[in-house]
Amino acid sequence: MSWMRRAMSLRNRLLLALLFFTASITCATDQKWSEVDLLGAWSGVVVAGQVNIAADLTVQQVEGGNGGIQYLLHYGPGRNCQVVARKKLQANTMFELNIDEASGGFCDPLWNATALSLEVLAADRLRVTMAPNPKTRLTEVVELTKIPRS
């Protein structure tokens, strides 16, 4: 086999490997996620004007009552409140959540008036978007990183 044929053969193998690698990444991001995949603690920061506010999300299994999976979005100093939400709808990597409870302060106007959407960006990254509503006129996005279990 001539050097030119070998070079073409090597080039074709590299292109084929790149194609399979790209296809595997695309399939991974199109994966359908389950709420169970999200269980655990997540942490991030909301940029609100000139202030950074810590935000933590805990996704946990709830026993008794309605059971299922519960989402607790807690805001740190500057807001000091939390909302409790449950999944309403899901489409692949997107979850639409309904807020069931609020702990007061900043979070009260969000209760029953705001929808939260949660998008899985990667196995260890989420994006939570607070949809605008007439009461709060608030649109917020926070990216969260999964906190490894110890």
Secondary structure, 3-state, 92-118: CCEEEEEEEEECCHHHHHHCCCCEEEE
The letter for the amino acid at 102 is A
Beta bridge partners of 54: 45
pLDDT at 23: 40
In this prediction, residue 138 carries a pLDDT of 67
8 Å CB contact between 146 and 42 = yes
Q: Which pLDDT score is estimated for 15?
A: 40
CA distance 94 to 8: 43
Q: By the 8 A CB rule, do 87 and 69 touch?
A: yes
Put residue 64 in one of left, alpha, beta given phi > 0 → left and psi -120 to 50 → alpha: left
Give the residue among 53, 65, 30 at the shortest CA–CA distance from 130.
53
Tokens 């007061």 label which residue? 104
For the chain, the first-to-last Cα distance in angstroms comes to 56
Report mean pLDDT in 10-residue bins for the chain, 150 residues.
Answer: 48 42 44 85 87 93 81 93 91 89 86 79 91 67 90
Is pTM beyond 0.75? Reply is no
Other CB atoms within 10 A of residue 105 CB: 12
